[in-house]
Structure 1
Amino acid sequence: MKQLSVGENMRIRVVSSREEIFTLNPNERLVHLAFRPSNKDIFGLVETCPKIEVIQLPKSYRRTVSRSIEMFLQMQRVQLLEGDVWGHRKDINEYYNIPASAIKKIKEMKMEGRSTEEIEKRVSRESKLNPEMVNYILNKEMPA
């Protein structure tokens, strides 16, 4: 897992159609699927982006993912997260930038020795990031 430096931006690649999957950069690590993916779409995504670490889906789509796909992603060490990219406009930018202020807040709270639950709750409330995404950032080998 790559370490996150202080000023580094974390970006989530927003994919709004299944056709787009096969045009992705193979180095993508964080992908948000803004459509209801089939098993074939998820297999295609993992094949197209071998370095993928996280697939994020809106809550309503997350519930429809089959158990076999969940197990497949577990074996590939890919996290399946529930969440949204609030206020993101795909027509302006294909990436959603995780606010640097949220990353900074996570680091500060970690250095203060705050609990994972407290960090997830506070940062997700302040930044509109899903608690699961906050946890992913927190565990991304962030130097204290």
Structure 2
Amino acid sequence: MKIRVVSSREEIFTLNPNERIVHLAFRPSNKDVLGLVETCPKIEVIQLPKSYMATVSKSIEMFLEMQRIQLIEGDVWGHRKDINEYYTIPSSVTEKIKEMKSEGISTEDIEAKVSRENMLNPEMVAYIITKESTA
């Protein structure tokens, strides 16, 4: 699973329209979020660092909710944008999630364990769980 890392406003309009998960590494304005949704109509998740989540307006939160786009808090630990524009969640993480689900471990326990071991936000783990169950 790949997360497209966007580090500037200007980059939004150069994105592939098929992007589904985007991490904004800058503090987005309402206009930036609307531009992102317009540029990437298939987007499912927008991830923001914790410090930027508090500055997202209620109107944008409501807009994203109406569009069924998840707004998730989180970081892409250790990612270097100059090397690769995508942060890849290792397949070992998705395999671990599948394995834990087949063992009957609760979703909450999977979220806690996987997020702690892999430095992923529990909300992102929950998203991966729902994607894996529909795949």
Category of TM-score, reference length = shorter chain: over 0.9
Give deviations 1:89-137, integer Å, cap 9, x for gaps: 0000000000111111111111111111100000001111111000000
Contact 2:6 2:24 in 1 (8 A): yes
Give the structure with the higher percent helix. Answer: 2
> Which residue of structure 1 aligns with residue 129 of structure 2?
138
Alpha-carbon contact 1:58-1:82 (below 8 Å) kept: yes
Q: Which residue of 2 aligns with 1:91?
A: 82
- Measured in 2, the distance between the counterparts of 1:57 and 1:114 equals 28
Percent of matched pairs sharing the same residue = 80
Q: What amino acid does structure 2 have at the position aligned with 1:102?
A: V
Unpaired runs of at least 5, structure 2: none
1:108 equivalent in alignment to 2:108? no
Contact 1:33 1:55 in 2 (8 A): yes
* Paired position in structure 2 for 1:61: 52
CA RMSD of aligned residues (A): 1.1
Output the amino acid matched with 1:142: S
Correspondence for 1:70 among 55, 58, 61: 61
Contact kept? 1:14, 1:32, Cα under 8 Å: yes
* Contact kept in structure 2, 1:99 and 1:127, CA below 8 Å: no
- Counterpart position of 2:117: 126
Amino acid corresponding to residue 56 of structure 1 in structure 2: Q
What is the aligned length?
Answer: 135
Pairing 1:37–2:28 present? yes
TM-score, normalising length: structure 2: 0.97
What is the distance in 2 between the residues matched to 1:16 and 1:142?
31
Give the TM-score of the pair, scaled to structure 1: 0.91
SS in 2 for 1:113: coil
**Aligned structure 1 segments of 4 or more residues deviating by more than 6 angstroms:** none
Contact persistence 1:109–1:119 (CA under 8 A) = yes
**Contact (CA 8 Å) 2:48, 2:71: kept in 1 or not?**
yes
Distance 1:94 1:136 in 2: 21
1:28 and 2:28 are equivalent in the alignment: no
